[in-house]
Structure 1
Amino acid sequence: MNDKFINAWNKMIKKLESWLDTLVINLPNILIAIFVFTLAIIASKYISKLALKVLNRSQLRPSMKNLISKIISILVIVIGLFLILGILNLSKALNTILAGAGVAGLAVGLALQGALANTYSGIVLSYIKNLKFGDWIETNDYEGEVVDIDLRAVTIKQVDNNLVYIPNKLVVENPIKNYSTTAQSRVILECGVGYESDLRFVEKLTKNTIVSNFEAVQHKEDVLFLWREFGDSSINYELRFWINSTSALEVAKAKSETMMLMKEAYDQNNINIPFPIRTLDFPKGFEMKDGSDNKKTTKETQSKINK
């Protein structure tokens, strides 16, 4: 038993000595490989910045410039890894790696199909002309300014200054509403006036108010005023006009300003914007049949209804 243990111990010592000899022999190559790897990392960063600086002189979109610079950085690192394998005399290992790359690639592709779909979608989004940095968009129930497009997600900044990261795949597969594709945006406001109002005067007053307060509206013809329906408590209309803005936030501000202007103009001209009410008509002689008590009860009921 002792002889077997001693024999195994000697074999282990010889194996460790052989490993140490191999390490000492290949130590210069290992040091050179570490130096090359470090140099490749540093070079990838500088070359990426240089490529981005050169691309900034072209007419490519910012998202496409960032994508190309990142791809160049990855290629530099891959070239450095090939050099390291050659320095360490691992050419055979490289052939083995390449031979197994097909099977491994299939397995990785199945496991990372979601990530690969986002990467492919990010490349697609980089080519889309109608989606770029600074655009105000609405997609996947989120709305905001596009601040970044990379190989994983589209980043938008919402009105409350929060950042939302939407996977590229969802952006490609779902509709995108881009408020920045045109120089103007339309403001749409719905309102109603009382049945006693002069409808032609209301239309004229509304158009004059909009023309005199919004720079983008030059003439009354630029304001679209449409009576829509006879409502339960009011005659309802729809107001439409354009403003010089591509931001949904500016549209909301213009709508808010319009509401204040219309309320002021209507108050000055005694035009009523009614709220929902209910009127009760009692038959003639209703109070006379039940006497004074019922008359009092009827007044209390009317008072409660008005409240």
Structure 2
Amino acid sequence: MNEEKTIILDKLNSWWDALVSNLPNLGIAVVVTTLSYFISKLVYNITKKLIYNRVKQTSVVRLIARISSTVVVLAGLFLALSALNLGDTLNTLLTGAGISGLVIGLALQGTLSNTFSGIVLSFRKNIRVGNWVETNGYAGEVIDINLNYFVLKEADNNMVVIPNKTIIENPFKNYSLTSKMRITIECGIGYESNLEDVEKITKDTLNSCFDQEAIDKELEFYYTEFGDSSINFITRFWIDGKSGLDRLRAKSKAMIQLKKAFDKADINIPFPIRTLQFDGNLPITQKQNHTVAEMN
């Protein structure tokens, strides 16, 4: 019994000696941990202010600020463990963190890909909330760029939710990057029309609706082909606009005004027709052969 008591006392004494000898290191560890905590809060606030000037996405700003503050806390924790001469514990933590990070990364590969893609989209200057874009077969106004998905509001007021990774990996068209866009209209007029008059009427009509000189652009007009039932042309003009709706409105207005101008000038816009000619002077045998050929 005395032997056991002696062993216990010796063990307690050794612990006490170790505690007393490590008191300075323990004090340093406590100070470092406390400082890292307050510094992390300061870093969090400073990072939010710095990032918010460039990124208007609140969730992204908070995520970056939290990552920055977490790095500061982890750095303080590792310094505190080093001060306590717990190198083996530190190595164990690093090894465990590496293995855990690998497992979590493999399990959440798709989610993490969308998250990082959302961060990249938030920093991109060529796509912002409020822009009118066309991507992945959808077109509409950008309503939200979240950490996991991208939200478009189409012209019919439907919301389209697209994974961020899909936006990054595929091309998109942003109508809002420029303040001007060019509209193209294709049309055909009858063969009996005077081509010079058609060109003049088209240019005068479109210039009266969309003043090209005011936006320092030039209207274009070209005949393209002799079609089956019409002589076809294209005309291209510029408008001030930043969305697909502006394009549709301008094209609709141009078509209405061109139709009115052509009607007023008796210019025909033909539709495809087929003329059947029956010649009564054909011999009976030739008519019969023709009928048999048609039946075959």
Q: Which residue of the other structure, out of 218, 234, 237, is the alignment partner of 2:230? A: 234
- Alignment coverage as a number of residue pairs: 236
1:45-79 Cα offsets, whole Å, 9 max, x none, are: xx77x9756755x3x1424x652233324666898
Residue 158, structure 1, aligned to residue 154, structure 2: yes
Alignment CA distance shift 1:97-1:221 (3 Å): closer
Residue 68, structure 1, aligned to residue 61, structure 2: yes
Q: How does 1:154-303 map to 2 (within 5 A)?
A: 154-216=150-212, 218=214, 222-285=218-281
Name the structure 1 match of 2:127: 131
RMSD: 3.5
Which portions of structure 1, spanning 4 or more consecutive aligned residues, are displaced by more than 3 angstroms? 50-56, 73-83, 91-99, 215-221
1:200-252 Cα offsets, whole Å, 9 max, x none, are: 10000000000111245559972111111111111111111110001111101
Name the structure 1 match of 2:141: 145
What SS does structure 2 have at the residue aligned with 1:180? helix
Determine if contact 1:61/1:132 at 8 Å carries over to the other structure: no
What SS does structure 2 have at the residue aligned with 1:146? strand
Q: State the distance in 2 between where 1:121 and 1:253 align.
A: 34
Determine if contact 1:194/1:235 at 8 Å carries over to the other structure: yes
What SS does structure 1 have at the residue aligned with 2:142? strand
What SS does structure 1 have at the residue aligned with 2:267? coil
What SS does structure 1 have at the residue aligned with 2:275? coil
Contiguous gaps of at least 5 residues in structure 1: 1-39, 290-307
Alignment CA distance shift 1:218-1:231 (3 Å): farther
Q: State the distance in 2 between where 1:163 and 1:93 align.
A: 51
Alignment CA distance shift 1:218-1:282 (3 Å): farther
Determine if contact 1:135/1:146 at 8 Å carries over to the other structure: yes
Determine if contact 1:136/1:178 at 8 Å carries over to the other structure: yes
* Percent identity (aligned): 47
Determine if contact 1:197/1:271 at 8 Å carries over to the other structure: yes
Contiguous gaps of at least 5 residues in structure 2: 1-36, 81-85, 285-296
User: How far apart are 1:152 and its partner, in Å?
Assistant: 0.9
What SS does structure 1 have at the residue aligned with 2:253? helix
The TM-score with structure 2 as length reference comes to 0.68
Determine if contact 1:217/1:241 at 8 Å carries over to the other structure: no
